[in-house]
């Protein structure tokens, strides 16, 4: 691929998604976009770029952007964050929301659903305290394809092995032939809709908690700052933002301050969001990467958790690991602090120590 073609492609991808591609990631463009060309009956990458130049078919660009997202995720990723969320963040919010009994949680880069379902399982474990609450968990992502996967709630043995405590596996999943399916009461706690983080999120409403994890690392600094400012405006004054292990607000957004002893968890400085933003008038959520035939998703209804307690023993040994699922080839994660400098999306975090039977996520299922 020549430089002009690379520049056009990386420019379009960045403009549409914020993802930064530098020339050392040329191999990624080639491996991921060849199938896109094939899908559209286009001979090769040169011809694909030519098609993008004339932009007669918008779906080609949508597929290109989608192909360049990497959707690496796993259940209870950075389990200490989920422990803190359950033990320190939620109790305060529950206390503060006694009069409204409402909680809105946004997973801003939900990928294949592991993160929102991890949250749902934690909340389900707290059903006794949340019996008549309205809890809304909204999962959004730029990739329509990955959102369809998330909605299915079906995971391979490898995927559940990577983070799901055994008692949660037995309680909140059921067998689906060779795979595992999230049970309906958990599935129905999460709503999904497409949303591009470059767009004005005000259409989504206010949230008490925002998980925006392992996506900012792939953007340049001005983009990160803008998104963080946007998120600050969507948070309740006592709301909480959770970032990924390699992400921080430092030097990017003054609206947030760190919380002592709570790594990766941020609150609004003095309860104040960033100043009003410069977004163009809001489009309906889902517009930018929604294919023409797909109508915008209706507003997500709030789902109240039911009170079924988890009853399965926590001591069942973990099932044997199976082969990794076929996926887009992952790329090495960007070094901390190197975001926007050649980072492509696709952090392959070293498999975290699973909380299965270990310290990590302490479960209350008994
Ligand atoms: C590495 S995954 C992170 C998933 C999950 N948050 C986690 O930490 O495990 C990053 C996700 O961000 C999504 N993404 C990338 N660019 C985006 C954008 N501009 N707007 C919304 N989502 C985006 C990708 O499609 C991908 O599913």
DSSP secondary structure of 49-68: HHHHHHT--HHHHHHHHHHH
Q: What is the band of 320 on the pLDDT scale with cuts at 50, 70, 90?
A: very low
Q: In sequence order, which residues have a C-beta less than 8 Å from that of residue 236 and are 6 or more positions away?
A: 206, 207, 208
Q: What is the band of 277 on the pLDDT scale with cuts at 50, 70, 90?
A: confident
Ligand 1 atom with least separation from CA of 345: 1
By CB neighbour count within 10 A (0-12 exposed, 13-18 middle, 19+ buried), where does 167 fall?
buried
Q: What lines the ligand 1 site, CB under 6 Å?
A: 17-19, 69-73, 77, 109, 111, 115, 141-143, 146, 196-198, 213-215, 244, 345, 347
Instruction: Give the Å distance between the CA of 98 and the centre of ligand 1.
Output: 32
Pocket test for ligand 1, best of 20, 81, 109, 149 (most atoms within 8 A of CB): 109
Of 9 and 335, which is predicted with more confidence?
9
Over 50: is that where the pLDDT of 266 sits?
yes
Q: Please name the residue whose Cα sits nearest to atom 19 of ligand 1.
A: 17
Instruction: Give the Å distance between the CA of 109 and the centre of ligand 1.
Output: 4
CB 30 within 8 Å of CB 291 = no
Over 50: is that where the pLDDT of 194 sits?
yes
Q: Please name the residue whose Cα sits nearest to atom 2 of ligand 1.
A: 71
Q: In sequence order, which residues have a C-beta less than 8 Å from that of residue 198 and are 6 or more positions away?
A: 16, 17, 18, 223, 227, 288
Separation CA 86–CA 129 (nearest Å): 12
Instruction: Give the Å distance between the CA of 194 and the centre of ligand 1.
Output: 11
Over 90: is that where the pLDDT of 332 sits?
no
Q: What is the mean pLDDT of residues 174-181?
A: 97
Instruction: Give the Å distance between the CA of 112 and the centre of ligand 1.
Output: 9
Segment 216-234, tens digit of pLDDT? 999 999 999 999 999 999 9
Per mean pLDDT, which of 92-101, 260-269, 302-311 is the most reliable?
A: 92-101
Instruction: Give the Å distance between the CA of 108 and the centre of ligand 1.
Output: 7
Over 80: is that where the pLDDT of 336 sits?
no
Neighbours of 196 (CB within 10 A): 22
Separation CA 349–CA 77 (nearest Å): 9
CB 235 within 8 Å of CB 273 = yes
Per mean pLDDT, which of 22-26, 305-309, 334-338 is the most reliable?
A: 22-26
Separation CA 75–CA 64 (nearest Å): 27
Q: In sequence order, which residues have a C-beta less than 8 Å from that of residue 32 and are 6 or more positions away?
A: 67, 68, 328, 329
Instruction: Give the Å distance between the CA of 110 and the centre of ligand 1.
Output: 6
Percent of the chain with pLDDT over 90: 67
Segment 141-156, tens digit of pLDDT? 999 999 999 999 999 9
In this predicted structure, what is the pLDDT of residue 328?
64
Separation CA 156–CA 251 (nearest Å): 39
Over 90: is that where the pLDDT of 171 sits?
yes
By C-alpha distance, which of 233, 262, 250, 203 is closest to 82?
262
Segment 72-94, tens digit of pLDDT? 999 999 999 999 999 999 999 99
CB 69 within 8 Å of CB 19 = yes
Ligand 1 atom with least separation from CA of 143: 25
Q: In sequence order, which residues have a C-beta less than 8 Å from that of residue 8 and are 6 or more positions away?
A: 49, 52, 53
In this predicted structure, what is the pLDDT of residue 304?
42
Pocket test for ligand 1, best of 14, 69, 219 (most atoms within 8 A of CB): 69
Lowest model confidence (mean pLDDT) among 14-28, 101-115, 236-250, 327-341: 327-341
Per mean pLDDT, which of 234-238, 315-319, 351-355 is the most reliable?
A: 234-238
**Mean pLDDT for all residues in the chain:** 81
Q: What is the band of 341 on the pLDDT scale with cuts at 50, 70, 90?
A: very low
Over 70: is that where the pLDDT of 282 sits?
no
Pocket test for ligand 1, best of 85, 111, 145 (most atoms within 8 A of CB): 111
Ligand 1 atom with least separation from CA of 16: 19
């Amino acid at each position: 691929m020549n430089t002009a073609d690379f520049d056009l492609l990386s420019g379009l991808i960045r403009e549409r998604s914020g993802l930064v591609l530098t020339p050392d990631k040329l191999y990624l463009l080639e491996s991921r976009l060849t199938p896109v060309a094939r899908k559209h009956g286009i001979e090769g990458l040169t011809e694909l770029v030519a098609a993008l130049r004339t932009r007669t078919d918008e779906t080609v660009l949508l597929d290109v952007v989608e192909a360049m997202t990497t959707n690496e995720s796993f259940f209870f990723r950075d389990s200490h964050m989920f422990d803190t969320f359950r033990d320190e963040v939620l109790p305060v919010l529950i206390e503060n929301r006694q009069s409204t009994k409402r909680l809105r949680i946004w997973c801003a880069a939900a990928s294949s659903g592991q993160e929102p379902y991890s949250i749902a399982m934690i909340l389900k474990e707290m059903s006794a305290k949340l019996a008549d609450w309205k809890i809304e968990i909204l999962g959004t992502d730029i990739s329509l394809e990955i959102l369809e996967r998330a909605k299915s709630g079906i995971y391979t043995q490898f995927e559940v092995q990577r983070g799901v405590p055994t008692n949660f596996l037995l309680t909140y999943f059921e067998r689906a032939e060779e795979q595992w399916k999230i049970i309906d009461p958990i599935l129905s706690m999460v709503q999904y809709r497409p949303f591009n983080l470059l767009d004005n999120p005000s259409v989504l409403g206010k949230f008490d908690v925002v998980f925006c994890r392992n996506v900012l690392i792939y953007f340049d600094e001005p983009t990160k700052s803008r998104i963080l400012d946007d998120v600050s405006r969507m948070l309740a004054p006592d709301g909480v933002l959770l970032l990924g292990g390699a992400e921080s607000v430092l030097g990017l957004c003054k609206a947030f301050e760190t919380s002592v002893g709570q790594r990766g968890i941020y609150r609004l400085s003095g309860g104040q969001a960033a100043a009003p933003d410069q977004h163009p008038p809001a489009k309906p959520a889902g517009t930018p990467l929604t294919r023409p035939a797909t109508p915008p998703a209706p507003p997500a209804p709030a789902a109240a958790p039911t009170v079924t307690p988890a009853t399965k023993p926590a001591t069942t040994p973990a099932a044997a690991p199976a082969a990794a699922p076929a996926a887009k080839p992952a790329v090495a994660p960007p070094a901390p602090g190197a975001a926007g400098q050649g980072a492509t999306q696709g952090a392959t975090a070293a498999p975290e120590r699973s909380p299965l039977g270990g310290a990590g996520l302490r479960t209350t299922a008994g």
